[in-house]
Amino acid sequence: MLTAKELLGRAQALEPQLVEWRRTLHRHPEVGFDLTQTKALVKKALTEMGYEPKDCGKAGVIALAGGKKPGKTILLRGDMDALPIQEESGVNYASEVPGKMHGCGHDMHTAMMLGAAKLLKEHEEEIEGTVKLEFQPAEEIFQGSPDMISNGLLENPKVDAAVMFHVLAGMPLPLGEVLVPGEEDISDHYQINETSSALLPETADAGEDYQKETLFIGDSNTVRLYANGLVSLQQFCAKEGIGTSAALNEGIVTFKRDDNRYTIAQAVAKMKPRRVVMTFGTNDTGMAVEDFISNYKQLVQAIQTSYPYTDIIVNTVPPVPADHSNYPNMDQTRIDDFNMALLSM
């Protein structure tokens, strides 16, 4: 039986191959369900390892490890799609596709999945049960997972549990640290009864360390990050129930020792973050897509004008939770339309 130390050593030995896979994927990003080259790389690598990869849905890939001993089926999931943005990193493996970039780390996820697949195949005889490998498309538009599920992802064999993770670039965390949620079900985080706005200490003279941090702005989904201890008070600027119009026009932010109220764009200028992550749309589902995108573009422009030294990252709108009684007007179809519009913004 392989020890944990031996397994770690084997994983470390795979580093050159992981880097090669990741940088190849990074040079050739593809978005949504249009993942021709990405799928080809994944299926070729899996086949060379001894797997029999199969298509699942529009652009997904699955493969099975183990199955030689009785036990449960565990799904191991990684996403493959990139973002429709222009890369300006200057690295020697930068995107070669104009207007597309692996800016969310899915190239790393895919490479790490392939590394896990190789280790699992090498020790397949030791696996009690089955590991189902899922390579998912279209994560950025929240369509890849439903598509694969509707095409049998969780069946044959039936999945008992699933595992996934996400890299966190740019976060104020030590390299190699892993964050694990507590016992509370994250799916419940869409529901909250308290309304709060950000009360932030004055940071006009913030030092270099703070300037490297990320400021999360948005609605209730962003408030959850603070409420659940994932970001500090100085890292979020959000209010329950607001939409893009309020975020653009209303003074919702206050600072200590300052009686004024600031719009989000004005607050960004005072806080001087290295980057801004925006999440809006949950409360705009009664709005036309054209109006939503118009507001969003104006908000981005307002932030760029107010403080042009920050990078702006736009998140897609989170999906409708199963129980959304606190948000009775939420509409998943409209959210899908919003996300498609955001990707082409």
**Per residue in 91-115, pLDDT tens?**
999 999 999 999 889 999 999 999 9
- Compute the residue count for the chain: 345
pLDDT of 6 higher than 70: yes
List 255's β-bridge partners, or say none. 200, 258
DSSP 177: -
Q: Which two tokens stand for residue 185?
A: 């079900």
Q: For residues 317-342, give the mean pLDDT.
A: 76
Position 17, amino acid: Q
Q: Which two tokens stand for residue 26?
A: 């990074």
Measured between alpha carbons, how far is 63 from 124 in angstroms, rounded to an integer? 13
Measured between alpha carbons, how far is 332 from 300 in angstroms, rounded to an integer? 24
pLDDT of 239 higher than 70: yes
Strands 199-200 and 130-136 turn out to be unpaired
Measured between alpha carbons, how far is 224 from 153 in angstroms, rounded to an integer? 30
Strand, coil or helix: 305? helix
> How much of the chain exceeds pLDDT 90, in percent?
48
Nearest to 225 by CA among 234, 108, 212: 234
Q: For residues 164-177, give the mean pLDDT.
A: 71
Q: For residues 246-268, give the mean pLDDT.
A: 86
Segment of 153-167, 252-266, 272-286 carrying the highest mean pLDDT: 153-167
**Per residue in 28-83, pLDDT tens?**
999 999 999 999 999 999 999 999 999 999 999 999 999 999 999 999 999 999 98
Measured between alpha carbons, how far is 115 from 14 in angstroms, rounded to an integer? 7
The pLDDT score that the predictor gives to residue 317 is 86
Residue with the larger pLDDT of the pair 41 and 88: 41
Banded pLDDT at 219 (limits 50, 70, 90): confident
Segment of 174-183, 195-204, 303-312 carrying the highest mean pLDDT: 303-312
> Number of helices and strands (H, E) in the chain?
11, 12
Look at the pTM and tell me if it is higher than 0.75: no
DSSP 82: B
Contacts of 131 by beta carbon, 8 Å cutoff, 6+ apart: 64, 65, 66, 73, 74, 75, 76, 120
